[in-house]
Amino acid sequence: MSSLNKHASDKQTVLTEHERHEIDHWLKRYPEDQKQSALLGALRAVMHEDHYLSYEKMDAVAEYLGIPSVAVYEVASFYSMYEMDEKAAGKNTIAVCTNISCMLNGSDKIVEHIENKLGIKHGETTPDGEFYFKIEEECLAACCGAPMMQLNHVYHEHLTLEKVDELLDGCLPESSSDESDSTNKTNKEGGK
């Protein structure tokens, strides 16, 4: 056990090896008495593994960093890049900005298109767990590129329906993507 996690207890076996490795990576960047500075990176590592933050994992992170659990909950609930709802455990997270600049540039059509394409509403995950469509996002500070969305926290701007299709299909395993293409084609040919 490294010196960085010498105070770790059995409870921390809740964290995967990858998560502990990532947290140790961030801990090395800060003084020994400033372990809370590694919190954002630690939560990012858990999100990467589970796609949401369970209380069990947040408590384990708190113990690993030697900080109160409530300090972890505060950070997790403050930043919209973290999800605390198990329903959000989709492999790919979509967040469409619907604030004023994006709204004036057609974000409603983008939202409608995604809902129809994936068969889910805001705040829902597709049954296969591939996509989670976050509840409406406020301005994501890319107004010049409106309409825009984040896909797995990466910004995509000047969206068109075709660009959205391309991005979402690109997230799918190849066979599902082919199916999706033919479904879209069928829908278009059928005038839907």
How many separate helices (H) and strands (E) can be counted in the chain?
8, 5
Per-position x/- string for 21-60, each x denoting binding to ligand FES as judged by CB under 6 A, each - no binding? ----------------------------------------
- Candidates 14, 40, 67, 139: give the one binding ligand FES (CB under 6 A): 139
- Candidates 142, 149, 159, 168: give the one binding ligand FES (CB under 6 A): 142
d(C-alpha 39, C-alpha 16), whole Å: 16
Q: Which residue type is seen at 18?
A: H
Q: Cβ neighbours of residue 33 under 8 Å, at least 6 residues apart?
A: none
DSSP state of 185: H
Which residue lies nearer to ligand FES by CB, 67 or 139? 139
Residues in region 93-132 near ligand FES by CB under 6 A: 97, 99-102
140 binding ligand FES? (CB under 6 A): yes
d(C-alpha 134, C-alpha 141), whole Å: 17
C-beta of residue 122 within 8 angstroms of C-beta of residue 133 = yes
Q: Which residue type is seen at 143?
A: C
- Candidates 14, 40, 143, 167: give the one binding ligand FES (CB under 6 A): 143
- Candidates 148, 151, 164, 168: give the one binding ligand FES (CB under 6 A): 148
CA distances 27 to 48, 64, 75, 78, Å, are 18, 10, 17, 22
61 binding ligand FES? (CB under 6 A): no
Instruction: Count other Cβ atoms within 10 Å, centred on residue 179.
Output: 13
Min CB(136)–ligand FES separation in Å: 11
89 binding ligand FES? (CB under 6 A): no
Query: Which three-class secondary structure state does DSSP give residue 30?
Result: coil
What number of chain residues touch ligand FES (CB under 6 A)?
A: 12
Min CB(145)–ligand FES separation in Å: 7
The binding site for ligand FES (CB under 6 A) comprises 97, 99-102, 139-143, 146, 148
